[in-house]
Structure 1
Amino acid sequence: MKLRPDLLIYNCGELATMAGPPGPRSGARQGRAAVIVNGAICARDGVIVAAGPQDEIASKVEVGPGTFTYDAGGRLVTPGLVDPHTHACYAGSRQHELELRLQGRSYLEILQAGGGIHHTVRQTRAAGPDKLLAVTAARLQVMLEHGTTAVEIKSGYGLDVPHELEQLQVISSLRELVPQTVVPTFMGAHAVPPEYSSRAYVDLVIHEMLPRAAPLADFCDVFCETGVFTPDETRRILARARALGL
């Protein structure tokens, strides 16, 4: 009995199936994408039912009026890309800092001078939720056009309770607005804002931010780096996050 898919993609110059043992690939295995030259792939009800050389798939498939067919035009066809680390929800730009980097200034030097994360925090706080939602959705559209179908998005450009929650609410709203899978991460510990000491800010993250952020996020992240958050501070924050279910 032949397959009756509702989607058939054919004339795939290269079809990267990623067939092989499950789990992350490292070392030389990263380049083994199980590519089929001149391939085709078909699905039904959102589930792939067959993939292989085009002639082989053609012999297995019955195309009917309910089948949407798409000619890939000899292009590369891959599974959707998953971007597990982004800061897509922000306002403004730091392109002016490129000149500083070209002059030899380090990232941490720029941060300590009030630039870097702090510059973006000021612009993100001033933007408001409607603008944040619009600019982030536009970025996700560009990512979708380049093949990204699942994306993690961090907060971390609010650095106070109301603006961190605002960022997470915007990120959560995107789940209903964009076709990608959106995974929100709380990153209130992205930098220490100038109005706080390091100790006071870590306490704020642990005791005030995290309990309110946890219902809006799936994960918690910390910028553990010289001049930002120490390993001990990071452990305290992540222990609290884990206790809250993140």
Structure 2
Amino acid sequence: MEMATIVIDPGHGGSKEIGDSSANNATSVSGVKEKDFTLDLAKRLRYSLLHGSAKAYAASKGKAVKVVLTRDKDENLGLSDRAQVAADSDADLFLSIHCNGHPDNPAAKVRGSEAFIDRKYMRPVYKVIAGKSYPQEGPGVPASGVRNVNVAEDAAYASRIVTAFVETLKAFDPGAKYRSNAYTATTNGETYRPPQGVKMTALGVLRDAKLGTTRNDCRACLLECEYIDNATVDQILNGARAVEVRNALAAALGKALIDSL
């Protein structure tokens, strides 16, 4: 039976920032912290892959997996250290789990799920807004050199992940949706049409030689599950049916991971 290694990275953790990884980013209306939600979902996902429905699904496909968590308790790791776990584990797939937040305006009711992959080129396209220059999502500037040689594979993998999350969440919340894509063209006019819910940018946790930048043997993405500080999302993910919802999401993500091998 084919054996593969999956590294799951629960975002944030601990009580202080380490290596550009903050202890916590977003907090729900009910007080659930992103760092705690991501760890809980990661553990449920690990269980599904090793003992639950995802394991059975893998066996039906003639596959078996080893699962490594970058952290399994409330501690923080730097972004490069998280990526290094994947390198040291000779990972086939790397999934970093996060939640979005809108701390400046929690009443904005922003929501949606999205998955990020590493940008294709080294330098981003910049856009000037109100006199300030901001890096834009998208492939980047071709002349700056290739950053991610694994774009197509990463995009297909990320698409499976975000699709599994959104379509499963819809069973509990009809308002579940994908975040929209708003890409700019590169400086030579190149365009990239990403799958629904998939975005391309530069994220430190995905920037590693093992994670699709110079080699093709590991696919990597970062899943922003939802806006955890949205009241409706909070009720679904952290309310009375939280265990049922989280288990369903873990099972769906597990199946998507198996399908990506």
Q: Structure 1 length as normaliser, TM-score?
A: 0.27
Which structure is larger by alpha-carbon Rg, 1 or 2?
1
What TM-score, normalized to structure 2?
Answer: 0.26
Structure with greater proportional helix content: 1
